[in-house]
Structure 1
């Protein structure tokens, strides 16, 4: 379904960094909101968001709960519980909440525990969009265009409320998919959370070596491509690692087993075994480009 003009009324974005400010720009460009308000910790960042037109005004969480038709939580996942606690006493019955968190199980648990009967007003989401840079200054209106947004409805959500939040994310240009929160956390531990951990780990390994300066002065495109996402927000990724700990540890253990096997092949001078492993991985990566 296509969004009609101003159908989402007043939207408040809590956390106007890359995702939040880009969301404000996208909603305003689509003409589906009356106004966009912003809540933020950093005055410089929220001033930047207002200056670039991502938000029309600044409010606190109490006013956000009282004034908004839709509230979008774009804060690090560890801050979700405190945000729900601030909103809950003032939350109007018609106000919907969605989020942009990269983990879902922990956020849903916090919502149910804090919001109680009002948890039905929260439809969890995760836009699969972003970049290595963070903050409002990196925001762009087309960030979500053609990208997936995962919706993980909870049993308390009504079909109408779920549809509203689906249309909300579709209005940004997103392609919306529905999966369970358990599926979401298992999948993204493998295809998003683990790659970020490995990128940080490689960067840390080189930086902590005795000849770090020499190594870094000789990096090429491969190293830069692999470590690009290590420039992402450390606070956000700390929270994701702890919030999705069980699924991430499972993926990390599997990865370490593969690395251990590769080390053994190299130590034993087993070129045939190495090439077989590399061939399988290489073909799978080439096939990805056809998707």
Structure 2
């Protein structure tokens, strides 16, 4: 018997579409309903076999679902949950893929009706591309998915969401929502802030008439790849997790100031030690 009878995916793009693809491929879902505002994207999802049918109205689209996955910008997760909560069938589980958890989990849990459940989740996977055509079944293979239960999380709902991500190929990690936001603020949100700032800094360098970005090679392009991510999505993340991001930006600024001082002084020994320490830590995570 499939794990999920009817899956409603709100936001059929890279994240939502990829989950739908792998669950279908594994035979773990009977029916997939796509929900969103872009009808052409949803029609394409049907053509590609990612979803079985679609609906533009979330309240109508979640009817009869036993699992709802919200793969939408973090600023929309709570409003969408609040709008669909009153019409969910008993036993239905709502989960999400948002990269900010503390406030979202607290708000969403507060609007769930008796007999329905919210379980916060965050698959640590993605690319800089978007839309259903960017989705692929192996996106989550070998990745981690952080699930953020609270004392009020239903154990059976937690188990089902965890099983869903394991089927998708992810290693499931349980983490407190507050810790999640601090950890992800460091390993994901800060790098995006740095990448966006770096591209703007180099693009704004005006010593020469032409933009020097045209001379960028592999290193610069690899390092700044994530600056091609959706600006709206990252605007919402920066606002929603600003406390954690500011904490990490301040810490980064101190390290960058130390590095600047060593460069200014021509401190070769200090620079080598700084770079060696960074290389050791980077190599250890590969």
**TM bucket, shorter chain:** over 0.9
Q: Please give the residue correspondences for 1:15-94 in structure 2 after superposition, counting only pairs within 5 Å.
A: 15-59=11-55, 60-94=57-91
Tell me the CA shift for residue 126 of structure 1.
0.5
Does the 8 Å CA contact 1:64/1:71 hold for their aligned counterparts? no
**What is the deviation of 1:224?**
0.6
- Is 2:236 the partner of 1:239? yes
Which runs of no fewer than 5 residues in structure 2 stay unpaired? none
For residues 43-97 of structure 1, what are the alpha-carbon distances to aligned partners after superposition, in whole Å with 9 as ceiling and x for unaligned?
2221222221111101221123322010000000000121012102212221111
Deviations, residues 249-279 of structure 1 (Å, cap 9, x unaligned): 1000000011111111111221211111111
Residue-by-residue CA offset, 1:137-173 (whole Å, 9 max, x unaligned) = 1110111111111111122122111111111111111
| Compared CA separation, residues 244 and 116, structure 1 to 2 (3 A) | farther
Counterpart check, 1:178 vs 2:174: yes
Q: Give the number of aligned pairs.
A: 284
Q: What is the match of residue 183 of structure 2?
A: 187
Could you tell me which residue of structure 2 aligns to residue 139 of structure 1?
A: 135
Aligned-residue CA RMSD in angstroms? 1.5
Q: Is the 8 A contact 2:85 2:113 kept in 1?
A: no
Match of 1:255 in 2: 252
* Cα distance between partner residues in 2 of 1:65 and 1:133: 26
1:99 corresponds, among 96, 109, 117, to: 96
Distance (Å, rounded) in 2 between the aligned partners of 1:34 and 1:235:
33
* TM-score, scaled relative to structure 1: 0.93
Name the structure 1 match of 2:269.
272
Match of 1:196 in 2: 192
1:112 aligns with 2:139: no
Runs of 5+ unmatched residues, structure 1: none
Determine which of 109, 119, 123 is the counterpart of 2:119. Answer: 123
